[in-house]
Chain A
Amino acid sequence: MQPLANITPLKPAGAVEVRNVGQVFTTSTQDVVALDDVSLEVKPGRFVVLVGPSGCGKSTLLMMMAGLRQQTSGAVLINGAPIPKPDPNRVGVVFQEASLFPWLTAEENVEFPLALRGTPKAERRAKAQDALKLVGLDGFGKRHPHELSGGMKQRVSIARGLVQDPPVLLMDEPFAALDEQTRMTMGDELLRIWAATGKTVVFVTHSLTEAVYLADEVVVMSARPGRIVDRLTVSLPRPRTYDMLSGDVFGGLRDRIWRHIRKSA
Chain B
Amino acid sequence: MPTAHVLLPLLLLVACKPPPDERHHMPQADAARGKAAIERVGCASCHAIPGVRWPQGTIGPSLDGFAERALIAGRLPNRPDVLAAFVRDAPSLAPGTNMPAMPLNEEESRDVAAYLYTLGDR
A binds B: no
Measuring CB to CB, which residues of chain B are less than 8 angstroms from any residue of chain A?
Answer: none
